[in-house]
């Protein structure tokens, strides 16, 4: 985070693509757009941007703005509430000066641009700020290709546009990801539309791994492990006979809907209540959904192994290839999060299968507790797998 002395030196500078000053504490639209601008880093400064609340345009600290905990929390909410996708890397702090207090949001440039705020790509070049035009979005997509680090944003070599179910992209996904005004004015060709959402690599002229996973006609041709294997056993271990099995494979957009319906119909079975009490369930659907889709988002797609979704007499186990990722450690889980596949996380947020970033495990635990299930058990110590046990 910027130091107090550095902030003081920054205040007199004019507003640029890295600095936004305001005395308003209620203009959340302005806050979101500024954070999105810093994430996109259109001039390619490769330096953090700063939203400074409590300072006038000339850098004067007005002393009239009350920096409350509620304000700081509302700024932090931009990290997780899904208004900005992919989620921004940012920190928030309060600085006190003799003239008054400031709230400062420090935002790092995104590694996977373009970044959208409520469906719009916000950029600033010199005095102009607003929504990116087609050429600017293309530039952001090309910049992403230069330093993409995550597997899902990398090109799926050997694949072609024809490998994608483009109708699913255009009719099902596109309206969830782009605001209506931009969508109506859209005149870009299909490859550029896909690239602007990180599903196509224009430099290599092929879909990205995320594009193949989400819209591929046969994702397992390129990524053999892209599936979820469900097995229902008749006993309490894997040596028991199994009653039923099903493999969820194909484009992930369709399979998410199929898995969601399957959980509601086959897993979330009602338990007869005691007299005068409400129904409960063997497993609450929302908890199973959160934890299964968490496995789909965070799994390692470079392995040939499927996600295991196993149901026993007394529990459900979900295991995905790929252990804790990035900044996440057993001692910080689930309060710290990092994304092995940020584009997939963004897609599930747009499609409505997750409500916020970095809260899925917490929401699942709350749902299980309210339903009367024991605390779930997370298996965190393995380097190459992640697991969770949900007790009946």
In a domain, 62, yes or no: yes
Question: Residue 274: which H helix or E strand, with range?
Answer: none
* Rounded alpha-carbon distances, angstroms, from residue 90 to 1, 51, 80, 93, 358: 9, 11, 11, 10, 14
Measured CA to CA, the distance from residue 307 to residue 288 in angstroms comes to 14
In a domain, 303, yes or no: yes
Same domain, 240 and 385: yes
* pLDDT computed for residue 6 by the predictor: 94
204 and 239 in a single domain? The answer is no
- Same domain, yes or no: 378 and 329: yes
Residue 345 in domain: yes
Contact 16, 37 (CB under 8 A): no
- Shared domain for 193 and 243, answered yes or no, is no
Question: How confident is the model at residue 141, as a pLDDT?
Answer: 81
What's the rounded Cα separation, in Å, for the pair 343 and 350? 10
Which of 190, 221, 252 is where one domain is finished?
A: 221
Q: Is residue 196 part of a domain?
A: yes
Pair 259, 327 in one domain: yes
Cβ 301 vs Cβ 320: under 8 Å: no
CA 206 to CA 144: how far, in whole Å? Answer: 15
Same domain, yes or no, for 162 and 248? no
Q: Is residue 125 part of a domain?
A: no
pLDDT of residue 148: 60
Same domain for 209 and 173: yes
Give the per-residue pLDDT at 186: 74
Domain count, the chain: 3
Domain range for 166: 148-221
**217 and 241 together in one domain:** no
Mean pLDDT per block of 10 residues along the chain (392 residues) reads 93 87 93 96 92 94 93 93 90 95 96 90 84 86 70 93 97 90 81 93 94 98 96 93 94 97 92 72 95 95 95 96 85 82 93 83 94 95 92 95
Residues 205 and 348 in one domain: no
Residues 204, 249 share a domain = no
Establish if 164 belongs to a structural domain: yes
Cα gap 174→168, rounded to integer Å:
9
Domain end marker among 74, 107, 140: 107
Would you mind telling me the total number of residues written for the chain in this entry?
392
Within a domain: 127 = no
Examine the domain organization and report whether 235 and 355 are in the same domain. Answer: yes
pLDDT at 330: 86
* pLDDT reported for residue 322: 92
Q: pLDDT value at position 180?
A: 81
In whole angstroms, give the CA distance from residue 365 to residue 282.
15
Domain finish residue from 183, 201, 221: 221
The DSSP string of 130-144 is: EE--HHHHHHHHHHH
Claim: this prediction has a pTM higher than 0.85: no
121 within domain boundaries: no
313: domain CATH number?
3.30.565.60
Does 298 lie in the same domain as 332?
A: yes
């Amino acid at each position: 985070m910027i130091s107090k002395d550095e902030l003081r030196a920054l205040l007199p500078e004019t507003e640029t693509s890295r600095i936004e000053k305001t005395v308003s504490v209620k203009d959340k639209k302005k806050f979101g757009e500024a954070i999105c601008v810093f994430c996109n880093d259109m001039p390619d400064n490769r330096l953090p941007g700063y939203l400074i609340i409590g300072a006038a345009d000339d850098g004067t600290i007005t002393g009239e703005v009350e920096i409350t905990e509620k304000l700081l929390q509302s700024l932090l909410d931009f990290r997780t509430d899904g208004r900005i996708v992919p989620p921004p890397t940012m920190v928030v702090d309060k600085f006190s000066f003799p003239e008054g207090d400031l709230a400062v949001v420090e935002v790092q440039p995104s590694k996977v641009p373009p970044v959208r705020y409520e469906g719009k790509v916000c950029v600033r070049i010199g005095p102009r700020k607003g929504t990116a035009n087609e050429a600017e979005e293309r530039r952001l997509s090309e910049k992403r290709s230069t330093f993409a680090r995550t597997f899902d944003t990398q090109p799926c070599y050997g694949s072609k546009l024809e490998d994608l179910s483009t109708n699913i992209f255009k009719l099902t996904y596109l309206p969830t990801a782009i605001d209506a005004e931009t969508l109506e004015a859209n005149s870009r060709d299909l490859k550029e539309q896909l690239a602007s959402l990180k599903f196509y690599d224009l430099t290599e002229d092929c879909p990205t791994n995320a594009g193949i996973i989400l819209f591929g006609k046969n994702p397992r041709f390129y990524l053999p492990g892209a599936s979820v294997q469900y097995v229902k056993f008749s006993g309490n271990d894997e040596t028991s006979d199994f009653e039923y099995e099903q493999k969820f494979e194909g484009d992930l957009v369709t399979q998410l809907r199929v898995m969601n319906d399957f959980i509601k119909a086959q897993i979330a079975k009602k338990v007869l209540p005691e007299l005068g009490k409400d129904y409960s369930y063997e497993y609450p659907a929302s908890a199973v959904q959160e934890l299964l889709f968490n496995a789909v988002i965070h799994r390692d797609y470079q392995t040939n192994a499927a996600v295991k979704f196993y149901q026993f007499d007394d529990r459900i186990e979900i295991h995905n290839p790929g252990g804790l990722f990035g900044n996440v450690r057993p001692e910080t889980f689930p309060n710290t999060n990092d994304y092995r596949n940020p584009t997939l996380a963004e897609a599930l947020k747009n499609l409505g299968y997750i409500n916020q970033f970095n809260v899925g495990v917490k929401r699942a635990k709350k749902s299980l507790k309210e339903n009367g299930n024991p605390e779930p058990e997370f298996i965190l110590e393995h380097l190459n797998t992640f697991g969770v046990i949900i007790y009946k």
